[in-house]
Amino acid sequence: MFLSVFDVFKIGIGPSSSHTMGPMSAANRFLDLILSPDWPRPAGAAVAAIRMSLHGSLAYTGVGHGSDRAVILGLMGERPDIVDPDRMDEIVAEVERTGRITPPGHPSYAFQPKTDLVFDKKTPLPGHANGMTFSAHDRDGRLLLKRIYYSVGGGFVVTDTELEAMRATKAQASERKVPFPFATAREMLEMAQRSGMTIAQMKRANEETAMSREELDAGLDRIWAAMKGCIDRGLQGEGIMPGGLKVKRRARMIHDKLQAEWRSNKANPLLANDWLSVYAMAVNEENAAGGRVVTSPTNGAAGVVPATIRYYLHFHEDADAEGIRDYLLTAAAVGGIIKHNASISGAEVGCQGEVGSASAMAAAGLAAVMGGSPEQIENAAEIALEHHLGMTCDPVAGLVQVPCIERNALGAVKAVTAASLAIKGDGTHFVPLDACIETMRQTGVDMNEKYKETSTGGLAVNVVEC
């Protein structure tokens, strides 16, 4: 089993990897399909109009997550990693005004967002909670092409047939031949013991089957630069976040207070936690505003990993660029195992699969750069994940704001605590990471749908929206 570090950490836009980046990417795929020969196009037929519908969790919380905007942007040919956040409103307004989409390389297609983009809460699709249907029609309204896509977490998008094949073979990741094809934490530890290599070294060897060391390092540096940029923008942002809840940005205010404390040399026993929290909150406030963000492994959990890396740079004297690369490689190894054997989708398993997975990844990465053995790293990931088990996904008004922003801060705190506990041990522990991951999967299966990113239970119905 192999999942690239650049599949785990993808540069995109907020507020949601599943509900924003996923629909945008699905629209991109449908446009590519229209131009391809991979469907039985009737002689003389030409696509004149496109329609689509959102189902399940996408239908329930799509407006709060900007899924409708993402679809429009995707149908205009915009992609999550390159779209200009400052132009998105302008692009969407133009489609709404003209009733047409004009993606590069395509003719103009009719698309009226108010009627051709449907939030279908009554018809769930069978494959996954995040389902979408795209259809192409000729000028007489006849159906020419139809595809179902699922946004399965972290910005990953598959068709219904691809999803069936994945589940039949459990090949949720690339089957590329790599020297260390660990699919479980147990296999990862066994390979580390036999090879004498660290988890980061094994992950690096896997990645370098497709690229040079220089290319890999440059890519890892780009990921961290995007994360750091997101933190920096979040620490400067002020005002009210979009969506109607009137939630104020707090990261800048908290950061200013921490800076003042730092300069005054006042004793603060919670100093490290405070810095961790403000870094995580800065990322997730930026995400909530629809800014540039890195899936880690999702947008809703994007603050945990960057916050713990920034903490590492802030509080560890030996921190350097090579350490950040090892951190990201180790975190990606753990994230790949979780995704392969359970899920990172809040709509599938609740927030234990988002912030829980992010905290496990961050704990593993931090333990690695603190000099932990593979066994201590696996222990750190298990501690962090275990103490997120059962966490629901119940965003108020379907927005990635409450409780998501503060939840990332606490996920980062748990990650650092888990890494510290693990480093102080010898790597032996009672609950294996694999057992914890399987428990998360089972808990997600048993969890009531109203607690899985539908905003029909929990805080979403018990907090007055005002």
Average pLDDT over residues 296-314: 97
Average pLDDT over residues 27-49: 95
Of the candidates 115, 140, 169, which is a domain's last residue?
Answer: 169
* Residues whose CB falls within 8 Å of the CB of residue 205, separated by 6 or more in sequence, listed in order: 178, 179, 180, 197
Amino acid letter, 22: G
Whether residue 79 is found in the same domain as residue 128: yes
Average pLDDT over residues 439-455: 97
Asked whether residue 243 is domain-assigned, the answer is yes
Whether residue 414 is found in the same domain as residue 279: yes
Confidence of residue 173 (pLDDT cuts 50, 70, 90): very low
Give CA–CA dist 168/172, Å, rounded: 10
**Which of 149-158, 255-264, 334-343 shows the lowest per-residue confidence on average (mean pLDDT)?**
255-264
Asked whether residue 314 is domain-assigned, the answer is yes
Q: Greatest CA separation found in the chain?
A: 77
Whether residue 241 is found in the same domain as residue 384: yes
Look at the block and give the residue holding tokens 């290599």. Answer: 197
| Number of domains comprising the chain | 2
Q: Is the distance from CB of 301 to CB of 411 less than 8 angstroms?
A: yes
Whether residue 31 is found in the same domain as residue 149: yes
The two structure tokens encoding residue 153? 């977490």
Whether residue 208 is found in the same domain as residue 322: yes
Q: Is the model's pLDDT at 246 over the cut of 80?
A: yes
Confidence of residue 170 (pLDDT cuts 50, 70, 90): low
The CATH number linked to 50 is 3.30.1330.90
- Of 402, 328, 300, whose CA–CA distance to 12 is shortest? 300
The dihedral sign for the CA sequence 195, 198, 200, 201: negative
Average pLDDT over residues 298-313: 98
Asked whether residue 2 is domain-assigned, the answer is no
Asked whether residue 180 is domain-assigned, the answer is no
Whether residue 445 is found in the same domain as residue 327: yes
The CATH number linked to 299 is 1.10.4100
Average pLDDT over residues 136-144: 97
pLDDT tens digits for range 73-84: 999 999 999 999
Q: For residue 201, give the H/E element and its range.
A: helix 199-207
Of the candidates 103, 137, 169, which is a domain's last residue?
Answer: 169
Whether residue 327 is found in the same domain as residue 233: yes
Q: Is the distance from CB of 122 to CB of 132 less than 8 angstroms?
A: no
Between CA 36 and CA 48, with CA 42 as vertex, the angle to 5 degrees is 70
Give CA–CA dist 63/120, Å, rounded: 12
Asked whether residue 102 is domain-assigned, the answer is yes
Q: Is the distance from CB of 396 to CB of 402 less than 8 angstroms?
A: yes
The dihedral sign for the CA sequence 31, 32, 38, 42: positive
Whether residue 225 is found in the same domain as residue 299: yes
Query: Can you give the pLDDT at residue 21?
Result: 97
Asked whether residue 259 is domain-assigned, the answer is yes
pLDDT tens digits for range 59-108: 999 999 999 999 999 999 999 999 999 899 999 999 999 999 999 999 99
Q: Is the distance from CB of 220 to CB of 329 less than 8 angstroms?
A: yes
Whether residue 298 is found in the same domain as residue 443: yes
Query: Can you give the pLDDT at residue 174?
Result: 52
Whether residue 273 is found in the same domain as residue 322: yes
Q: For residue 133, give the H/E element and its range.
A: strand 130-137
Average pLDDT over residues 278-301: 97
Q: For residue 115, give the H/E element and its range.
A: helix 113-116
pLDDT tens digits for range 327-385: 999 999 999 999 999 999 999 999 999 999 999 999 999 999 999 999 999 999 999 99
Helix, strand, or coil (residue 104): coil
The two structure tokens encoding residue 120? 């279908």
Average pLDDT over residues 292-301: 97
Q: How many helices (H) and strands (E) does the chain have?
A: 20, 9
Asked whether residue 406 is domain-assigned, the answer is yes
Q: Is the distance from CB of 409 to CB of 254 less than 8 angstroms?
A: no
Asked whether residue 305 is domain-assigned, the answer is yes
Whether residue 251 is found in the same domain as residue 117: no
Q: Is the model's pLDDT at 172 over the cut of 50?
A: no
Of the candidates 169, 204, 234, which is a domain's last residue?
Answer: 169
User: How high is the mean pLDDT of the chain?
Assistant: 95
Query: How many CB atoms lie under 10 A from the CB of residue 338?
Result: 27
**Domain around 452:** 185-462
Whether residue 132 is found in the same domain as residue 220: no
